[in-house]
Structure 1
Amino acid sequence: MEVEAPRQSEMVNNVMCLLVDPEGNSLGPSMYLPQNAGPQQLQQIVNKLLNNEEKLPYSFYISDQELLVPLATYLEKNKVSVEKVLSVVYQPQAVFRIRPVNRCSATIAGHTEAVLSVAFSPDGRQLATGSGDTTVRLWDLNTQTPSFTCTGHKNWVLSIAWSPDGKHLVSGSMAGELQSWDPQTGKPLGNPLVGHKKWITGISWEPVHLNAPCRRFVSASKDGDARIWDVSLRRCVICLSGHTLAVTCVKWGGDGMIYTGSQDCTIKVWETTQGKLIRELKGHGHWVNSLALSTEYVLRTGAFDHTGKQYSSPEEMKQVALERYNKMKGNSPERLVSGSDDFTMFLWEPFVSKHPKTRMTGHQQLVNHVYFSPDGQWIASASFDKSVKLWNGTTGKFVAAFRGHVGPVYQISWSADSRLLLSGSKDTTLKLLCSSRFGTSGQRN
C-alpha cells in the first residue's frame, strides 16, 4: 500500500499527453505531464526530445486552440477528461519577432493615381508599387523615400513581382504587356514582352532553389492563357493553353509545377520543361479567384531571411534557398488552397492527388483572397461576407471567424513571423489580428 500511494497521487496530478507535430507525427510515446505544466515547460520538453542544441520557440495547440495557460486550467475550463490521452500539437515559431504595429510609420506619396499593386523585395529592403498612373515606383524602405520612377507602360500596372534572387522586377499591365526592370537603376531591361491579348492577372517567378540566377517567370491573363517567359532571352518560351475562360491566378510551386486557377472553375497543373498539362483539379462550382501555396513565403524570399545576410554567388543562394524550402516543407507534400466565387475553398496536395484533401465551407459570399501564413500553420480567407476566416493549414479545419469589417474584405496579408494578420476592406479600413487571438477570441461559425 505504501508503494501504491505515490502512484495514485501522481496519476491525479498528472495528465497523459501525446506530443505531435502539425502533420500528426508523434514525438515519442504518450507521457505523463504535471497538470501545472504550461507552454514554457512544454517548450523545454520538446527541445529536449528533439535534441535541439539551440533552444527554439514553440507554440502549443489542443483542438486548434492555442495553449496559453497551464494544462490544469485548460482541462478545467474545457471540461476535458484526464482519463483520455490529450493530444498536444507543437508548432515551431519564428525565431525573430517583427516590431509591434500600432501606428502608420510613413505615408509615401508620389503616384498620381490609385496604387494597384505592391510587392516587397525578397530581402525586405525595397518596395515596388504599380499604379493607375502607368508607372512603377521603387522605394527605399530604410529611408522611406523614392528610389526610381519606372516609365514605359501605356496602361494601368495591375501586377508586380520580384524574382526571388532580387535581381529582376516584372510588371504586367491592363494592355497585356509585361516589362522587366533592373531594381538597381529603375531602367527597363529590353522592350516590353508582348503576347497576351488581354490584361495581366498574375505573375509568379520560378523558385531560386530550382534555378539560379532567376530567369523564368509565368504570367496569367484574362485571355485564358498563361505564358512562361525567359528574361535573358526576352521572349515567351512556352504558352500554357487549355483554360476555356480567363486565368485569374497563377503560382509556380517549389516542386517545379505551375498552378493556374480560372473562371472555367478548374485549376490546372503544368510541368515546366514542355508546358504539358499534368492534371486538372476539379470541384469548384464557380470561378476560382485565388490560389496560395503552403511554401509561398520561402519561395518568394528565396535565400533571404531575417538576418539580412547577402550572397556572393547564385550557387550559394540556390543552396541556401533549397535548405530553407526543405526545412519549411518537412516530410509532407506542398499544399495548395483555392478560394472561389462558389463561397467555398479546397485544400489540395496536387503532387499526390487530383482529389482535394478537404472542402472548406462557412463563408456566405464569394471568397476573394486566400493566403497561407509564412510558417504554413494557418490559412486565412477574405470574403465579400465581410469576414476573415482562419483555418488549420495542415487539415483545413475551421478555427475562427473575425467579423470586424462592415464591408467586403478584399485582401489579407501576414507578417513575416506569422504572428500578425492584416485585412483590407471596401469599408476603407485595415484590421490587424494578433496570433494570440487565433482559436480563442475569434467568433465561431
Structure 2
Amino acid sequence: MQSLSGHLQSVTALRWSGEGLIYSGSQDRTIKVWRPSDGALCRTLQGHGHWVNSLALNTDYAIRTGASDPKKLMQTVPEHINNELERKAAAMERYTAAKEQAGGVERMVSGSDDFTLFLWTPESNKKPVCRMTGHQQLVNDVKFSPDTRTIASASFDKSIKLWNGINGKIFATLRGHVSGVYQIAWSADSRLLVSGSKDSTLKVWSVADRGLLIDLPGHADEVYTVDWSPDGHRVVSGGKDKVLKV
C-alpha cells in the first residue's frame, strides 16, 4: 500500500485518469497530479480561492463503461466482443474517441467553494484552460456529459448551469429548485440530467429544451446523491431521510 502525501488540508475529491494518473482536490485549494506507479507528485494545479469540492474528466464515461456499447449495456458481454483482446481494443477506442472530442487530450473540470469552475488539461499543463464564473454560491458538483460536449454544475445558489465542454462558456441556467443543489447525473445518451436538492426533490431536465422535464418528489428530507441506471430508464436517489428511492 502506498501513501501519497502533499496536501496541506483534507482531500475532498479524487479521479483516476485514463493515462494512469490520479488527480486529487483538497481543502488546501489545490489539485495535485500523482503518478501511482512510483508515488511521485507530477504537478500542482492552483487557481481556486477556496476548497475544491468536485472533479470530473471528459473521459469519465468512457473509463466507467469500458468496452460496452451504450445500446447493449444490459448484456453482461456484448455479442460483438468475444475475447479479452477485443474488449481492451474496443475500450481503448472509446477512450481515444472521448479525448479526440477535446483535441486529443484528457480534460478535467473542478468546482469550488469560491463559486467558480476551472477547466484544465492536467496531464501536461499547470495552467487552466479557463476560469468559469456565473454561480452565486459554492459549487457542489460538476460532471461532463457522456458525449463530452457539455459540463453541468450544481450549486447552493439553487441552479444548475450548462457549459461548453471545450471552451468552458456558459450556455444555459436551469432553475426550479427552491434550495441548494447537491448532486447531478447524466443519462447515458447525454440528453437528460437529474438533480438532487436540499429542497427534498429530484428534477429531470431536458438539455435540448434547457428546461424542467419531470419533477420527482418523494423524499422526506434533503437529497444528497443521485444516479441513472445504465439503461437510462430509471434513477436512484438517497438522502437525509435514510431511504433510497428508485
Q: Which TM class, normalised by the smaller chain length?
A: 0.7 to 0.9
**Number of equivalences:** 204
1:278 paired to 2:42:
yes
Percentage of pairs with the same residue: 59
Q: Which of residues 387, 395, 419 in structure 1 aligns to 2:159?
A: 387
Measured after TM superposition, the shift of residue 364 of structure 1 is 0.8
1:317 paired to 2:87:
yes
Measured after TM superposition, the shift of residue 312 of structure 1 is 4.7
Q: 3-state SS of the aligned residue for 1:239?
A: coil
Q: Distance in 2 between matches of 1:426 and 1:293?
A: 26
1:355 paired to 2:127:
yes
Q: Which of residues 401, 417, 422 in structure 1 aligns to 2:194?
A: 422
Q: Distance in 2 between matches of 1:271 and 1:403?
A: 40
Aligned residue number for residue 99 of structure 2: 329
- Which letter does structure 2 place at the counterpart of 1:356? P
| Contact 2:142–2:152, Cα closer than 8 Å, also in 1 | yes
Q: 3-state SS of the aligned residue for 1:251?
A: strand
Measured after TM superposition, the shift of residue 323 of structure 1 is 1.0
Equivalent runs, 1:60-139 vs 2, <5 Å: none
Q: Distance in 1 between matches of 2:16 and 2:128?
A: 19
1:378 paired to 2:142:
no
- Which letter does structure 1 place at the counterpart of 2:63? L
Q: Distance in 2 between matches of 1:262 and 1:315?
A: 38
Measured after TM superposition, the shift of residue 241 of structure 1 is 1.0
| Contact 2:50–2:114, Cα closer than 8 Å, also in 1 | yes
1:247 paired to 2:19:
no
Q: Distance in 2 between matches of 1:419 and 1:254?
A: 24
- Which letter does structure 2 place at the counterpart of 1:402? L
Q: 3-state SS of the aligned residue for 1:321?
A: helix
Q: Distance in 2 between matches of 1:356 and 1:325?
A: 22
Gaps of 5+ in 1: 1-235
| Contact 2:23–2:31, Cα closer than 8 Å, also in 1 | yes
**Which has the larger strand fraction?**
2
Q: 3-state SS of the aligned residue for 1:240?
A: coil
Q: Which of residues 100, 116, 129 in structure 2 aligns to 1:344?
A: 116
Write the deviation string for residues 58-113 of structure 1: whole angstroms up to 9, x where unpaired.
xxxxxxxxxxxxxxxxxxxxxxxxxxxxxxxxxxxxxxxxxxxxxxxxxxxxxxxx
Measured after TM superposition, the shift of residue 314 of structure 1 is 3.4
Q: 3-state SS of the aligned residue for 1:318?
A: helix
- Which letter does structure 1 place at the counterpart of 2:57? L
Q: Distance in 2 between matches of 1:328 and 1:402?
A: 26
> TM-score by structure 2 length?
0.79
Larger radius of gyration: 1
> TM-score by structure 1 length?
0.45
Equivalent runs, 1:281-320 vs 2, <5 Å: 281-305=45-69, 306-307=71-72, 308=75, 309=78, 311-320=81-90
Q: 3-state SS of the aligned residue for 2:42?
A: strand
Q: Distance in 1 between matches of 2:82 and 2:146?
A: 26
| Contact 1:333–1:352, Cα closer than 8 Å, also in 2 | no
Equivalent runs, 1:179-258 vs 2, <5 Å: 236=1, 238-258=2-22
Gaps of 5+ in 2: 213-246
| Contact 2:193–2:206, Cα closer than 8 Å, also in 1 | yes
